[in-house]
Structures are given as structure tokens and as C-alpha cells.
Amino acid sequence: MLYPLKFIPVYKDYPWGGRNFEKFGRILPDGIIAESWEVSCHPNGVSIVSEGELAGTSLPELVERYGRKLMGTALPEKDIKKFPLLVKFIDADKNLSVQVHPDDAYAQANENGEYGKNEMWYIISAKPGARLVYDVKPGIDREAFSQAIKENRVESCLNYVEVFPGDVINIPAGLVHAIGEGIMLAEIQQNSDVTYRVYDYGRKGRTLHIKQALDVIDFNSTGRKPKTTGLKVLHPSGSSVTYLVANGYFSVELYEISGKTDERADGSRFFIYTFIEGEGNITWDSGTTSIKGGETILIPACLGEYSIAGRLKALKSYVPDIEENVIRPLKQAGYSENEIFENVAGLAR
């Protein structure tokens, strides 16, 4: 019964949101919409299948019912039970809070067994001059940052980066960050909803988490390159795949499809495609479904051969075997090991 799965978006009305998801042709509920959780097994926003024989079934129910047929044979048991990824769109009509996320060890010890939160961003649209916070400035240590918080001058400690559509930003756990106003993006992250806010522009009624944030901020890695261009591999079909981010939690690749590309889910892992623009279809052995920009689709691990056709731009995310799924195909495409580790964000030697 498993087939490529679409889900009903789970909308979040945080105060910094807007109405920009209407650009995807969506009919939104009234009011501010800040986030659209596209694929989520988190209890704070559970995805429900929108189409086909499984319509109305929740993602946790699918995980329980199908197990490794959905999730894959390569994932550890802890990821089978919890579903490891959360995919969302974010509409920052106003500045988000300045925040940081914990790693797995801190979250599991202090947040009732939650995953930590490593994430990445793909900028879909950005108003002229839009910028985001990426890290603190070089030379800012825990003591200096703590003092700045007490004196309400956090903004003077932050490193700002101007962004443009198509930019890719890797956000590891421990990195101070914030999305600035006028930016819409896709976010791939661990399945976690743990955020420690350190500064919120004076908004009322929003809890700050100063102690936890100071516990987890990595003050030893300032000067990191904020943007990654990745490494592109051309396919004979005229399409291309750019390897953007890869770590122990997720790999994200940018597919730019012109015509048709043939893919395979061999039973080892599931894949999530988040379509940024264009339109086309996905075809597998027993069906076809249409796809367009602003949609996200989950490919079950057991699906087998499938193809994506049309003119499309999409992010493909999954839990990788780094050597097999990332390093080997890039070496086969002619890239050196140094090029791979320098240009694919998140890789560690």
C-alpha cells in the first residue's frame, strides 16, 4: 500500500510570521502564518497523509504500522521509533528571536529525551538587504556574551550575513542564529522542537532561556563560513544534483531537473523531496502523482524504482551513510577528498 506520500501542512502562528506562503498558491487559514511543518512526526505538530488510500493516517501511525518498510533497513532502532527528520517552510515577515539549539547529549539529558537540533536553511526568497544572524562576532566569549545579555546589547555581539535566493546555510547545534525579516526559507532539521531564545527584540510574553543557551553555545568556532555552494554532479539527462550539507543526522541535495531523472529507493532509507519551484510528476511502478513548487513528498524506503519528470527544483533530504551516499558519488564524479570536505557543509574528517 505504500506510495509517495503527501501530507496536510501543519501551520504555526508565531508572532513574526506573515502571509507569504500564499505565493505557493496555498489557501491559508486566517491570521499570521509563520511556519508550515511539511513532514513531522513530532507531537507538537503531527503530519497527516492528504491523498490516496492512506489519507487521514498520521505519520506516527505509518511508522508504527510499516516500520522499516517505510523507514528503511539502514536506520538505527532509535530513529525508527521517533522518525529522525522534520521538514518545514518558514516565513519570517519579521525578525525571529536570536536563539541556539542543543546537541543530542544536552537535549536528552535536559529535555525529556528529545533529539538535539542540527538544521540547515535554503533561502527561497529574500527582500533586498535581508540578512540573518550567523554566530557571534570573533572574540566574543561566554563571559562577554553573558554581560551583553544583562546590559541588553546582544545585537552588538552578533555576526550578520546578507542573503539572497538560493543561498544555503548550515546551522549546527551550538551556533547562535536568527532569521531576519523578509526571508522565506526551507528548513531541514532533526526531529526536535527545542529552542533556547537569548534575545527577542523586546517582544512581550516570550520566554527567554538564558541559562540553557549559555550552556550550549559554542564560542570556540567563530569565523565559520556561513554559506555553502556545495558540489554539483551533472546527469546525462540534463539534470543535476548538488551535494549541499551532510552530517550524521541528514544529507541535503539540490535537484535541478529538466526532463526526467530516474531514482531508486532500495529499502535502506526513506527520502523527502521538498519542491522549491516548478511542476512535474513522480512515477513509480503502480502510479503517478503530480508535484509542484511548495509541496513536499515522502518516498518510502520500499518504493523501488521511481522517476521525477518536469522542470523542477527540489531539496532531497535523508539520513545518509556518509561514505556510500555522499563521498563515493562525489569521488566518482571527479572531486578530490579535499574538495569534498571543503565544499560540502557539515562533513568532518
Largest CA distance in the chain: 62
Complete DSSP assignment for 75-91: S-HHHHHH-SEEEEEEE
Start-end of H helices in 22-103: 59-66, 68-71, 77-82
- Between strands 98-100 and 48-49, the pairing is unpaired
Backbone angles phi, psi at 150, to 5 degrees: -65, -35
Annotated catalytic residue: which of 197, 206, 224, 328?
Answer: 197
* H helix or E strand, kind and range, residue 105: helix 104-110
Backbone angles phi, psi at 80, to 5 degrees: -65, -40
Q: Nearest-CA neighbor of 276 among 167, 141, 145, 114?
A: 167
197 is catalytic: yes
67 neighbors 80 (Cβ within 8 angstroms): yes
Which residues are part of the catalytic machinery? 197
